[in-house]
Amino acid sequence: MTEPTLVPPIDPPPAPETSRPLHTLPAPFSLSSLEIITQGAEALVYKTTFLTPHTPVVVKYRPPKPYRHPTLDKRLTKQRLLAEARSLVKCKKEGVRVPGVLGVDAEEGWLVLEYVDGQTVRGVLDGWAHRVSEREKEADTRTEGQGNEGILDLMRRVGREVGKLHELGVCHGDLTTSNIMLRTPPPDSPPPFPTSNSISQSSSNSLKGDIYLIDFGLTTSSIQDEDKAVDLYVLERAFSATHPAAEPLFQEVLRAYGESGKGAKSVLKRLEGVRLRGRKRSMLG
């Protein structure tokens, strides 16, 4: 009778080849010049300078994940970083307003992007919703309807920019109001003596500027109406989460989107089915 062969225990995978703390990026970046913008599950985002001391940029860094096998982790980081960079370059080339790619090191896990100075559409909507709430409390009918054209025009610009993205066969993957920026336009020369009219005009100018789409970490290439409709559904949910008063604004986004390309109408039809499935999932928990 032969004795059973003993199988040696499997050694755990080696730790990632890095001893850097979480917020210590590889060269050429230094901690002293980094300003944290946000920290997500997959990436850290900073504001810093690049190439020259006066060129503000955004650095997106994907640090090693200790819970993944180092070989798999390196491969996934490289694939996702390059996919994001390629999508941004493609969109920029075709006229979609996205941050320009200024540098990339897929091996080290960082991507340098053009800095878009401005505010997120979520921030704009939060401010608008707050003003609506204040008017409702005051019940001041004299201000009813004032300022609506500016916010509606902003919604149309959002719809057109998303339509341009989908027309290229690119789906964002995380299309929320936090990932849409309103870039601050260059300042006009102020009048020598401020008047009530100029103050009102200044408030209106706060909604002017170009719409930029940011954070392409989950982007995919797709020509399917279903994928584009899911993009729109995610954005619609972001609107409804802001304030009940903001939900009707999304209809203006869809109206402009529907006029943005020849395939947009069929995407809007598919959106109805996506909404229905979303409601069923929320009902069933």
Last residue of a domain, one of 62, 95, 114: 114
Together in a domain, 74 and 176: no
- The pLDDT value given to residue 124: 94
Residue 281 lies in a domain: no
Together in a domain, 125 and 266: yes
Give the H/E segment covering residue 213: strand 211-213
Tell me the C-alpha distance between 103 and 92, whole Å.
15
Residue 217 lies in a domain: yes
Last residue of a domain, one of 114, 139, 165: 114
Per-residue pLDDT of the chain (285 residues; tens, 9 = 90+): 666 666 666 665 555 554 455 667 888 887 778 899 998 888 999 999 998 888 899 999 999 988 899 999 999 999 999 999 999 999 999 999 999 999 999 999 999 999 999 999 999 999 988 888 887 777 654 444 455 889 999 999 999 999 999 999 999 999 999 999 999 987 764 544 444 444 344 445 679 899 999 999 999 999 999 999 999 999 999 998 877 788 889 999 999 999 998 899 999 999 999 998 876 555 444
Q: Which two tokens stand for residue 70?
A: 């180092």
Residue 7 lies in a domain: no
* C-beta separation of 214 from 159 below 8 A: no
Contacts by 29-32, CB closer than 8 A, 24 or more apart:
29/59, 29/110
Q: Degrees (nearest 5) of the Cα angle 122, 124, 125?
A: 65
- The pLDDT value given to residue 123: 93
Q: Which of 105, 126, 153, 174 is catalytic?
A: 174
Residue 204 lies in a domain: yes
Together in a domain, 142 and 205: yes
* C-beta separation of 113 from 50 below 8 A: no
Together in a domain, 125 and 170: yes
Together in a domain, 43 and 103: yes
Last residue of a domain, one of 92, 114, 136: 114
- The pLDDT value given to residue 202: 45
Together in a domain, 157 and 226: yes
- The pLDDT value given to residue 13: 56
- The pLDDT value given to residue 48: 93
Q: For residue 178, give its domain range.
A: 118-188+198-275
- The pLDDT value given to residue 243: 75
Residue 84 lies in a domain: yes
Q: Which two tokens stand for residue 282?
A: 């929320």
Residues in the chain: 285
Together in a domain, 123 and 106: no
pTM: 0.82
Residue 208 lies in a domain: yes
SS3 track for 87-137: HHHHHHHCCCCCCCEEEEECCCCEEEEECCCEEEHHHHHHHHHHHHHHHHH
Whether residue 174 lies in the annotated active site: yes
